[in-house]
Amino acid sequence: MPDFRNTSALKLENIRKTFGSVEALSSINLEVSAGEFLTILGPSGSGKTTLLRLIAGFVTPDSGSLTIFGEDMTMASAGKRQIGMVFQNYALFPHLTVLENVMFPLEMRKHSRREAAEKAAAALAAVHLDAFGDRYPKQISGGQQQRVALARAVVFEPKLLLLDEPFSALDRRLRESMQREVRQLQASLNLTTIFITHDQEEALFMSDRIAVIDGGTIQQLGTPNEIYYHPRSITVAEFIGDSNILEGTETPDGLRTRSGMLLRRASSSNSGRVLIRPEAIRISREPADGVAMNQFKGKIANRTFVGGFTIYQVDVHGGDTLTVRCLADEETMFDTHQEVHLSIREADCRPVPRDAKEPRG
């Protein structure tokens, strides 16, 4: 199979879009490689829906250019772009059967009815719905409707697949199996996919790369690992995963927080801010040994049991309150008010650069 990884499937350059006086998108630059699964992750109102509609061709930018496989599509109509899209509410046509729904894009492309029916049936088989072609959308479950929408979006071999929060209406169990299935289908078709979501777990789980968007600009673009462990701004750090963010002044030994804790770090920085993921903090009865460790004593302020793991709020003596997450273990669970030792590897105290707009504090 040829390697499309180096081919640019979608390229956005200096895209800008305003609605009235509101700047929905400002200077978006983004390049997606062929076959890649890219997630646009952002809270509601971040501009991610505008960006998706702009890629789909339902919105035209005020300035900038949009290229799909080398072809300038900035002003092309939605139908010309050859993009398959799954809407948040699926937008299945209720007056057509499942098979007719999937045939629709083929008919619009002037395929003969027989050919369209054959291809549509094959697409339905790919999402395990071959037996449901004669049903109407209202007669099948939400998960099945989702698969129909997916089959309809890929049946005409589009250049791009756009997914607009397609899993938000499904319950957790179904959502997870659909996520896996979409990822498999995407990989087997080698289909360049752009996925919109506000759910960071979903983004981390599914994506090759994630573009975190907020305030109409891309805050950070990177692999799930990069985004999670090396957030480039406070916005990204707070949006992805749970985090302890400690501020203070830089000293030769490390960061001295306002409350007086000294955090030694593996690499020096002058950002005045440190990110510690809750699962990077070890909690124990006795002081832990090990080199390159920050050690603190504290008292459990609060305990939350969430099945697979336990979340503690720990008041560090003469310091801040830290959130700690450990794998749940009935034997060694700590009680509220219990004295504990915390240890954090120096490498896990990660500097967070200041946002460009943010004043230095």
Question: What burial letters (b/e) apply to 258-277, b meaning 16+ CB within 10 Å?
Answer: eeebebebeeebebbbbbbb
- Identify which of residues 158 and 224 has a Cβ nearer to other proteins in the complex: 158
Touching other proteins, residues 85-114 (CB under 8 A): 85, 87, 89, 91-95, 104-105, 108-109
User: What gap in Å lies between CA 147 and CA 101, rounded to an integer?
Assistant: 12
Q: Does 152 bind other proteins (CB under 8 A)?
A: yes
Min dist. Cβ of residue 150 to other proteins (A): 13
Q: Does 19 bind other proteins (CB under 8 A)?
A: no
Cβ(311)–Cβ(303) under 8 Å? yes
Min dist. Cβ of residue 120 to other proteins (A): 12
Angle CA 263–265–267, to nearest 5: 155
The window from 81-89, 192-200, 204-212, 324-332 that contacts other proteins (CB under 8 A) reads: 81-89
Min dist. Cβ of residue 33 to other proteins (A): 23
Cβ(242)–Cβ(306) under 8 Å? no
Q: Does 293 bind other proteins (CB under 8 A)?
A: no
Q: Does 78 bind other proteins (CB under 8 A)?
A: yes
Cβ(16)–Cβ(25) under 8 Å? yes
Min dist. Cβ of residue 55 to other proteins (A): 11
Extract the tokens encoding 146.
């989702």
Touching other proteins, residues 43-72 (CB under 8 A): 56-58
Q: Does 83 bind other proteins (CB under 8 A)?
A: yes
Extract the tokens encoding 76.
């092309």
CA 319 from centre of chain:
33
User: What gap in Å lies between CA 261 and CA 148, rounded to an integer?
Assistant: 55
Report the interface residues with other proteins, using CB under 8 A: 56-58, 77-79, 83-85, 87, 89, 91-95, 104-105, 108-109, 136, 138, 152, 156
